[in-house]
Amino acid sequence: MTPETQAAAIVAQLNTEYQKTVSALRDALKTFLAGGAPPDPAARAGGAFVYPELRLTWPRGEVYPRLSRAYARLSAPGDYAVTVTRPDLFGDYLREQITLLLADFKVEITVGRSSQEMPFPYVLDGAVDIAMADIGSADIARHFPTTELSQIGDEIADGFWSPALEEARPLALFDGLRTDFSLARLTHYTGAPAEHVQQYILFTNYHRYVDEFVRWGCEQLKVPGSRYTQLSASGRVVVTADSENPEQQIADGSWRRHQMPAYHLMADDRTGITLVNIGVGPSNAKTITDHLAVLRPQAWLMIGHCGGLRGSQTIGDYVLAHAYLRDDHVLDDVLPPAIPIPPIAEVQVALGKAAELVTGETGEVLKKRLRTGTVVTTDDRNWELRYSVSALRFNQSRAVAIDMESATIAAQGYRFR
């Protein structure tokens, strides 16, 4: 059996165990909501409602392979484990990671039942079952597993995990509970299914960018042989190349009800583009990226407006951040501002080339409208009212622009790698 076929079999087994739990939990809920008995405590104690667990063992004494990649690698011999949710959604990602581990490390991988229970809200098809039942959610929570915030956190990503507290090392940054929590939040905030999020994500806080993205996306759907299959919009509006007046359908949707409307230009294998209108401020930027991180996107990027800080700049110029002055403060406890956030060279080069393609300009001519340098991200929209203090900091940092989101988004990308 090759690493590829072995990985596929492991993911299939994870999906079988996951579906077993979902079916058991849904059946028990339907029985209880229909006036039947609550689930058998003995069955629950025996693991009827638990997440499947992926466990890996790397024996001591094996030679550590020399790997340049930053993913699908182990730090030390021993046992590793993680609970898994939605193998259908994460199947490609899991198969890729497991295949690499099997190919490069002499590991034993098994699938079993964990001790971590799946909260009942994550298996509901909607609110219909709850609405039809004359039973309060508090009564349901007395008999069924529910979300326990004490069991959900980012201790692994933030380096607070302790080997003294658990028998196995974490195999991933996010376990089943943390992932399900974020998938539910994404649907709530964006008004579109979390399953529609693509691997390449843009953030904005100006609706004009949404209008342009929707217009461009609808055009892309109609291109002969387009790799894009549909455009999913906030308010659960989905349009295709055959839709009549798709832009108007999206504009007439219920996107205004949602805090951070999202729009997904979808392609096979989730290789399309997602745009999220996150609103203003570092708190919003942290909120949405906390949840999008569980989907393991390839890249995310802020596009929007900033304030120019140099006399050579004029309205309409581009700014490409090479570094950040992090005055947003929302991540100081888990990622101190003294820790630099390195730019990704490939992304910087790609954006520079994109500016050349769009403007038709290069070299010194392009530099007149594309400024690179340090960008300040602040949590104070009225920073102008403290100009005597702000000006000194801007000069010391040699900052070229100021905004309220981009450093937070970059720091979150670094934090969740």
- Reported as a single tens digit per residue, the pLDDT across 88-117 is 999 999 999 999 999 999 999 999 999 999
Is the pLDDT confidence value at 329 over 70? yes
Overall average pLDDT of the 215-237 stretch: 98
Alpha carbons 391 and 217: distance in angstroms, whole number? 41
Q: What is the CATH number of domain 307-415?
A: 3.40.50.1580
Going 392 to 397 to 403 to 404, the CA torsion angle's sign is negative
Amino acid at 168: A
pTM over 0.75: yes
Q: Encode pLDDT of 29-75 as tens digits.
A: 989 988 899 999 999 999 999 999 999 999 998 888 999 998 999 98
DSSP structure class, residue 46: T
The one-letter code for the residue type at 41 is P
Phi and psi for 299 in degrees, rounded to 5? -160, 150
The amino acid sitting at 293 is A
Q: Quick count: other Cβ atoms within 10 Å of Cβ 239?
A: 21
Residue with tokens 């326990």: 148
Q: Where are the alpha helices (DSSP H) in 34-125?
A: 41-45, 87-104
* Residue pointed to by tokens 């000006």: 391
Is 3-176 a domain of CATH 3.30.1730.10?
yes
Helix (H), strand (E) at residue 186 = helix 176-190
Number of helical (H) and strand (E) elements in the chain, helices listed first: 13, 14
Sequence ranges of the domains in the chain: 3-176, 191-277, 307-415
pLDDT for position 128: 44
Q: What is the pLDDT of residues 135-172, one digit of tens each?
A: 777 888 899 999 999 899 999 999 988 877 788 999 99
Q: Which amino acid is at 399?
A: A
By DSSP bridging, strand 307-308 and strand 399-403 are antiparallel
Cα dihedral value 326, 287, 198, 129, nearest 10: 180
Q: Sheet of 299-302: strands edge to edge?
A: 237-239, 228-233, 262-267, 273-277, 200-204, 299-302
Strand ordering across the sheet containing 307-308: 307-308, 399-403, 370-378, 318-327
- Cα separation of the two ends of the chain: 32
Q: Mean of the per-residue pLDDT values for the chain?
A: 94
Q: What is the pLDDT of residue 205?
A: 93
Cα 119 from Cα 1, distance rounded (Å): 36
Calpha distance 304→79 (Å, rounded): 45
Lowest-pLDDT choice from 69-73, 199-203, 225-229: 69-73
Distance CA 320, CA 372 (A): 5
